[in-house]
Amino acid sequence: MDDLQKRAVEADDLGDLPAAFELWKECAKSDVDGISSLKYGRVALELEKWEESEEAFHQALHFLPEFYLVKALMGMLWVKRTDKDETESLQTAKEWFLKALENKKIAPTLTLLGAAYAHLDDFVAAKEAFEEAINLDPNYEEALCNLALIVRKTDLQKSRGLLERAVQIDPNYKKAHHALGGVCQKMKDFDRAEFHYQRCLEIDPADYWSNLYLANLLGVTKRNDEAEQTYRLATELRPDLAGGFEFFARFLESSGKVAEAAEERAKIPLSEREATRLL
């Protein structure tokens, strides 16, 4: 490893992405095995430099045409990029994940493929991909959580079981705790629903959605003072989101606080008010 590569690795290890980007970019200019290009593309992806990332991954593929990781990262790029049509990008991502799986079939790539299918509304294919991922790795919590989100529309009990397995594997998996809170609430198990929303907030106190869902739960269970306080916190966290104000206003109206409800609705930008009628 030459001095330039050592400096690039050090910047990467320190989390100094701008420095790592510039250093790996220089390393990639004299790449002979594809590794520097791969690392350059990965850092560019993290920095949302879409074109640079794509170009770097293509260069890496020139040296590493059968390496699954390059293709999986290319798929991740097409999932995340915002400079192209969303549906076309997801279709492209799906194709790259399929190519990666031809080289190496592992649970993380199958889960990424399943997520791409889900975003494309192909829930049958998504379910199959998540199930295959779990067959390969029964303890891959991300696949468990994603499968739970697919099946919760038709089988709440199965969804709950999958999510409970996911949070046992990773007790700090906020996404799974949040989904489990919602499933428990639908099943009228309000104590467990509150537990999982509170776990989300232990992990991230500034999580808007968990505050909003907890506020709704508190309202459903007639703990109105706590609900009002939590709704206020949620809307303070994300004053740019109209939905929180609308849900808060409806809660206030149900509590007989019509004037206060009007005050909350007045905080919704005019451009957003029409959309709240659909909530």
pLDDT at 137 over 90: yes
Mean pLDDT of 124-134: 98
DSSP 182-245: HHHHHTT-HHHHHHHHHHHHHH-TT-HHHHHHHHHHHHHTT-HHHHHHHHHHHHHH-TT-HHHH
Q: 85: pLDDT confidence band, cut at 50, 70 and 90?
A: very high
Residues 30 and 26: their CA atoms lie apart, in Å, by 8
Answer for the pair 149, 156: CB distance below 8 angstroms, yes or no: no
Q: 271: pLDDT confidence band, cut at 50, 70 and 90?
A: low
Residues 279 and 271: their CA atoms lie apart, in Å, by 15
Answer for the pair 110, 133: CB distance below 8 angstroms, yes or no: yes
What is the reported pLDDT for 2?
81
Q: Model's pTM, two decimal places?
A: 0.89
Q: Where are the alpha helices (DSSP H) in 81-189?
A: 86-103, 107-119, 123-136, 141-151, 156-169, 174-186
Residues 86 and 81: their CA atoms lie apart, in Å, by 8
Q: Which two tokens stand for residue 66?
A: 């059968």
Residues 6+ apart with CB under 8 A from 43: 12, 17, 20, 21, 24
Least trusted range by pLDDT, from 35-49, 184-198, 265-279 = 265-279
pLDDT at 270 over 80: no
Residues 277 and 279: their CA atoms lie apart, in Å, by 6
Q: 3: pLDDT confidence band, cut at 50, 70 and 90?
A: confident
Residue 225: count of CB within 10 angstroms of its CB: 9
What is the reported pLDDT for 268?
85
Answer for the pair 44, 76: CB distance below 8 angstroms, yes or no: no
What is the reported pLDDT for 278?
54
Region for residue 222 given its phi and psi (left: phi exceeds 0; alpha: psi -120 to 50; beta: otherwise): left
pLDDT at 207 over 60: yes
